[in-house]
Structure 1
Amino acid sequence: MTPTQSAVIRPLLVALVAGTIPLAASTSTAAAAPYCGIHWGSLAKSTGTLLPGPITNVRTGRHACYDRLVVDLRGTAPGYTVKYVNTFTGQASGLPIPLRGGAKISVTVMAPAYTPTGSASFVPTNPAEVVDVAGYSTFRQVRWDSSFEGYTQLGLGVRARLPFRVFRLQDASTSRLVIDVAHRW
């Protein structure tokens, strides 16, 4: 300990022991308020079963506290698996697929991107850039992998490993899978 540090710390310790400094004032706030009230984590989220309702669109949105990815579907909301991965790999090929960003999220929707008759229900114009996310706080890239045996996979490149949530919304004939990724912890 340097002489300067001793000169500052010693009087504080004496005052604390003497009871002239309240204990609460002498400690820092260990549990700061969560960013935007977000209590999400970064662990994998998965639920549901395979459904035939096909994917009809993929879109994104920017919000004050998070960036949002929405997968639009016809019919009942399907199951999903959304998780951080070290390497995003093709579900049919098993080969690595590059994604921009400091972290990678694999999004598997338990629904096809084709109708029961086999015609495509959604085909991205550019599979490497399904949606333009330039200027987003968290998203760096939305990349299409494939729709294989009823499962559709997308890669989501994000700035860093940040908290996220996943939920489903249902209307009379359509549904949406929503993935929100916080701007920071």
Structure 2
Amino acid sequence: MRKFHVWLFAFLVAAGLGLVVPGAASGAPYCGIAWGSLARSSPGLTQAQVVNVRTGEQACFDRLVVDVNGTMAGYSVRYVPQVLQDGSGMPVDLRGNAFLQITINAPAYDSSGNSTYKPADKSELANVSDYKTFRQVAFAGSFEGYTSLGLGVRARLPFRVFKLAGPGSGSGSRLVVDVAHTW
């Protein structure tokens, strides 16, 4: 009987060690994204102007940031069959299999009509050639107090939109659009 208890103890210890031995590490981060792909918007207008557009890569998503030189007001971000230019309604050619129309309720010009955001190349606002999700970022115009951008993405993927103060202690603010790498 004693021999049975020793074997049982040895078996339970071995089984216990098997439960606490960590498995192989995965190179992919756990993202837990549950954003969805439906349109997002927030009402409001501002006297602030769009001054910059930039992008960045994160482990689980690609990020687009629109800098405004005052308090960020409203916006609209939605998937569309084709991004259209402000004012003319002409189509904006974009690379990708899905397209986000991003409208910021702020002009890209001051009260005298001078540009506050004048990209070197309106069809390539940022180099996103090695991004996992983004395919192209283009300027779609600024008309009657609204500024629009076109974002070509790999597929219709979940996204989120939010506003942030800053950067720094200045009076600026930012609109952030994150598009997930996967569902």
The TM-score, its normalising length taken from structure 1, stands at 0.79
RMSD (Å), alpha carbons: 1.0
Is 1:92 aligned to residue 90 of structure 2?
no
Match of 1:160 among 138, 150, 155: 155
Partners of 1:130 and 1:39 in 2: CA distance: 28
Match of 2:39 among 31, 35, 44: 44
Aligned to 1:3: none
Aligned to 1:80: 75
Gaps of 5+ in 1: 1-34
Q: In the TM superposition, what is the alpha-carbon distance from 1:145 to its structure 2 partner?
A: 1.0
Which moved further from structure 2: 97-106 or 167-176? 167-176
Aligned to 1:183: 181
Q: In the TM superposition, what is the alpha-carbon distance from 1:51 to its structure 2 partner?
A: 0.8
Q: In the TM superposition, what is the alpha-carbon distance from 1:48 to its structure 2 partner?
A: 2.3
Aligned to 1:129: 124
Q: In the TM superposition, what is the alpha-carbon distance from 1:91 to its structure 2 partner?
A: 2.1
Partners of 1:76 and 1:116 in 2: CA distance: 16
Question: Partner letter of residue 99 of structure 2?
Answer: K
Match of 1:174 among 164, 172, 178: 172
Question: Partner letter of residue 135 of structure 2?
Answer: R
Q: In the TM superposition, what is the alpha-carbon distance from 1:184 to its structure 2 partner?
A: 0.6
Deviations 1:31-90 (A, max 9, x none): xxxx61111010000002111100110000000000000000111012100000011111
Q: In the TM superposition, what is the alpha-carbon distance from 1:156 to its structure 2 partner?
A: 0.1
Partners of 2:86 and 2:120 in 1: CA distance: 20
Aligned to 1:139: 134
Partners of 1:85 and 1:163 in 2: CA distance: 14
Q: In the TM superposition, what is the alpha-carbon distance from 1:117 to its structure 2 partner?
A: 2.4
Identity, % of aligned positions = 56
Partners of 2:112 and 2:86 in 1: CA distance: 22
